[in-house]
């Protein structure tokens, strides 16, 4: 177990993460679970991951189109 201190950074609280627990730079997701805070790095999805997810999708992207309405021409 490693301990650290909570400190104020501007109007927010911050905590220094020791080197042995360092996270990759970028965004993190913070979730409260009872009295615990869970910090998880957010992984960016590359184009291949998005393509694979769309390829695996078995539904349809089509939607029912309403009938075209006849309109008077504007003069």
Distances (CA, A) of 24 to 5, 8, 28: 20, 22, 9
* Torsional sign, CA 45, 50, 51, 55: positive
Quick one: pLDDT at residue 34?
A: 95
pTM: 0.51
Quick one: pLDDT at residue 35?
A: 95
15-74 pLDDT per residue, tens? 999 999 998 888 899 999 999 999 998 877 778 878 888 888 887 778 888 888 888 888
H or E, element range at 48: helix 47-56
Are 15 and 4 in contact, with CB atoms under 8 Å apart?
yes
């Amino acid at each position: 177990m490693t301990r650290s201190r909570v400190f104020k950074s501007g109007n927010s609280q911050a905590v220094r993460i020791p080197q042995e627990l360092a996270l990759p730079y970028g965004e993190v997701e913070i979730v409260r679970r009872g009295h615990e805070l869970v910090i998880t790095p957010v992984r960016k999805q590359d184009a291949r991951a998005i393509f694979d997810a769309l390829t695996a999708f078995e539904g349809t992207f089509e939607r029912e189109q309403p009938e075209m309405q006849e309109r008077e021409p504007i003069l």
